[in-house]
């Protein structure tokens, strides 16, 4: 925290912001990564969440923390066995067979493979068991984060303060939900009821008789890890189709169903030999309200039409872009982002040019993230990484456009636009019929010298307020200096010292009124561009 604060200001408690080199940021991020790994399960989860938050951390931090995997040494079987038997009863009686070596270990729980008796035979299941004692550990860690937040907020601007407070609230809520396996089972069934009916996807069934708040037993479904491209190629599976199916699945969950699997990293996605995508681990799941769904559709349609103004309007309405942001600069950033999403090569000089424009613009950090969009951003970021791994030339915009067309969203937006345009034409025609008599009345009043004009001056940057302050400070400074001279001439040293101190205070306030506040500049990130850069470096 001290290192982050030191990087934000020239001096720790005061002073203007300073620029820190990418090398320093990367070193800080690597130190942070080691600290998170040492601190344990809760902070590993926090690091994963931070790796998807470019509104909070610089790009170098995002790049380093993105390598953080939810992979910790497994807990001993004795502790896991106690949790299992407390929930559902003796292992030997409840299972036909149970492999005590975990097949997957995570920070909050671990998964074992077992068999259940099933109509004279057996069926394979996966048993997810919460780590023993993890509840107390998480509660203690959340208290540390809660106490630390006010200290950190002192060193950040308003936009990042907004994002950090939302991040802390979201993280506390998410990690508690992830420890509740009954909620996970409920979310799994809800998603299965919609997307599971599509034969391109597989979602395992829950075994209710062997599940509880700390234990979740599911159907075991084998598959190839989705980022194991060599094995997928060996099995003759079309990776481009898998990437397209994955994006369609998440667009359907978020836009149509309003409930979605929110942890799509490669460890939670697999592909069967038939080419169907398997979803695992629904502990991190989310919901989207209708307003956000509508705005996401508007955003995608604007991207499909490459309408930059509409994209910025959608971002402002949804609350992720400040209305005061420099639209010209943000428009150029969006153009580059669209190029990157289409898989097109971006000239490096243009990227540097845009970064320079952003750094030279004196405006508050324009991007922020409301609570209801945090998990959606996480999904978008991680899914993009998976799709690019499957197919480096994957065109996100083309796939999104096809989805919008097939589901009728784009046509509906065109009909809505035509309807609104028709209403606007009708209103314009009605206005034209009223203009002539109003114009005649105004001319009559002007002829009688009975016309008054009221003017209101909009001062969004407080120019008049600052000017008034400077005038007052200037007069007070003049009065103070004059009083200092007079009192000194009258041999009243105490009075002259008081007047001099008063003058010094006023001088400092006058100086501060002329200073320009600078905020940390935003550096745009391009996932595919970064991937190409890393490949060239390798």
Measure the CA–CA gap between 505 and 249, rounded to whole angstroms.
63
Q: 3-state class of 202 per DSSP?
A: strand
Alpha helices in 229-326 (DSSP H): 229-234, 239-251, 290-304, 308-318
Contact 169, 142 (CB under 8 A): no
Burial of 300 (0-12, 13-18, 19+ CB in 10 A): buried
CA atoms within 13 A on the CB side of 322: 16
- 359, two tokens: 């750094």
Measure the CA–CA gap between 478 and 475, rounded to whole angstroms.
5
- 355, two tokens: 């970064």
Measure the CA–CA gap between 508 and 265, rounded to whole angstroms.
54
- 532, two tokens: 């190409």
Contact 379, 285 (CB under 8 A): no
Report which of 66, 42, 276 is spatially closest to residue 179, judged by C-alpha positions.
42
Question: Exposed e or buried b for every residue in 83-112, given b needs 16+ CB within 10 A?
Answer: bbeebbeebeebbeebeeebebebbbbbbb
pLDDT of residue 364: 44
Report which of 305, 363, 302, 311 is spatially closest to residue 332, judged by C-alpha positions.
311
Measure the CA–CA gap between 247 and 258, rounded to whole angstroms.
15
pLDDT of residue 533: 54
Contact 178, 284 (CB under 8 A): yes
CA torsion through residues 364, 370, 373, 379, sign: positive
Distance (Å) of CA 445 to CA 433, 437, 448, 450: 20, 13, 5, 5
Q: How many residues make up the chain in this entry?
A: 538
Residue in the structure block whose two tokens are 């799941």: 285
Which residues lie across from 202 on neighbouring strands? 278
Query: pTM for this structure?
Result: 0.66
pLDDT of residue 402: 81
pLDDT of residue 73: 65
**535: enclosing H helix or E strand:** helix 527-537
Contact 227, 242 (CB under 8 A): no
pLDDT of residue 358: 47
pLDDT of residue 417: 46
Contact 366, 325 (CB under 8 A): yes
- 233, two tokens: 């190629």
DSSP state of 154: T
Burial of 419 (0-12, 13-18, 19+ CB in 10 A): exposed
Measure the CA–CA gap between 108 and 124, rounded to whole angstroms.
23
Residue by residue, DSSP assigns 247-292 as HHHHHIIIIIISEEE---SGGGEEE-TTS-EEE---SSEEE--HHH
Q: Average pLDDT across each block of 10 residues of the chain; the chain has 538 residues. List them in order.
A: 64 60 82 84 78 69 72 76 90 90 80 86 89 85 80 63 69 83 91 85 91 91 89 92 91 88 84 92 85 83 80 79 73 73 56 47 50 73 83 80 75 51 61 68 67 62 75 86 83 83 85 56 41 54
pLDDT of residue 523: 37
Q: What angle do CA 164, 168, 173 make, to 5 degrees?
A: 145
């Amino acid at each position: 925290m001290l290192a982050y604060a030191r990087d934000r200001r020239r001096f720790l408690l005061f002073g203007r912001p300073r620029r820190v080199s990418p090398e320093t940021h990367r070193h800080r991020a690597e130190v942070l990564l080691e600290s998170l790994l040492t601190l344990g399960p809760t902070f590993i989860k926090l690091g994963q969440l931070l790796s998807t938050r470019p509104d909070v951390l610089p790009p170098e931090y995002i790049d380093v923390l993105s390598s953080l995997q939810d992979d910790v040494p497994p807990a001993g079987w004795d502790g896991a066995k106690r949790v299992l038997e407390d929930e559902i009863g003796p292992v030997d009686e409840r299972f036909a067979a149970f492999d005590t070596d975990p097949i997957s270990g995570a920070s909050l729980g671990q998964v074992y493979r077992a068999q259940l008796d099933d109509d004279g035979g057996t069926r394979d299941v996966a048993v997810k068991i919460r780590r023993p004692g993890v509840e107390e550990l998480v509660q203690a860690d959340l208290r540390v984060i809660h106490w630390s937040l006010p200290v950190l907020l002192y060193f950040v601007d308003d936009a990042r303060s907004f994002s950090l407070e939302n991040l802390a609230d979201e993280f506390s809520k998410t990690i508690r939900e992830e420890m509740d396996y009954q909620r996970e089972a409920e979310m799994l069934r809800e998603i299965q009821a919609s997307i599971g009916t599509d034969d391109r996807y597989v979602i395992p069934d829950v075994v209710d008789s062997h599940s509880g708040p700390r234990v979740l037993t599911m159907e075991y479904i084998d598959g190839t890890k989705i980022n194991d491209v060599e094995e997928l190629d060996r099995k003759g599976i079309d990776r481009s189709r898998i990437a397209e199916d994955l994006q369609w699945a998440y667009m359907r969950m978020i836009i149509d169903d309003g409930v979605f699997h929110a942890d799509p990293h490669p460890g939670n996605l697999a592909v069967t030999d038939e080419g169907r995508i398997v979803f695992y681990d629904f502990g991190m799941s989310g919901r989207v309200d209708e307003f956000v769904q509508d705005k996401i559709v508007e955003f995608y349609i604007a991207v499909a039409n490459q309408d930059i103004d509409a994209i910025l309007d959608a971002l402002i309405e949804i609350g992720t872009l400040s209305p005061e942001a420099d639209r010209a600069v943000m428009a150029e950033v969006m153009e580059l982002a669209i190029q990157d999403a289409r898989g097109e090569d971006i000239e490096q000089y243009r990227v540097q040019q845009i970064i320079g424009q952003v750094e030279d613009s004196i405006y508050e950090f324009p991007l922020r993230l409301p609570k209801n969009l945090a998990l959606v951003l996480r999904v978008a970021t991680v899914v993009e990484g998976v799709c690019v791994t499957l197919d480096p030339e994957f065109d996100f915009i083309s796939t999104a456009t096809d989805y919008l067309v097939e589901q009728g969203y784009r046509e509906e937006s065109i009909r809505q636009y035509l309807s609104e345009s028709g209403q606007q034409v009708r209103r314009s025609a009605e206005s034209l019929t009223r203009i002539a008599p109003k114009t005649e009345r105004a001319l009559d009043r002007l002829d009688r010298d009975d016309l008054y004009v009221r003017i209101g001056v909009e001062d969004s940057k407080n120019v008049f307020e600052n000017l008034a302050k400077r005038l007052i400070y200037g007069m007070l400074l003049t009065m103070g200096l004059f009083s200092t001279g007079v009192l000194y001439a009258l041999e009243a040293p105490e009075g002259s010292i008081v007047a001099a101190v008063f003058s010094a205070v006023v001088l400092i306030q006058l100086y501060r009124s002329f200073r320009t506040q600078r905020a940390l500049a935003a550096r745009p990130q391009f996932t595919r561009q970064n991937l190409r850069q890393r490949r060239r470096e390798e």
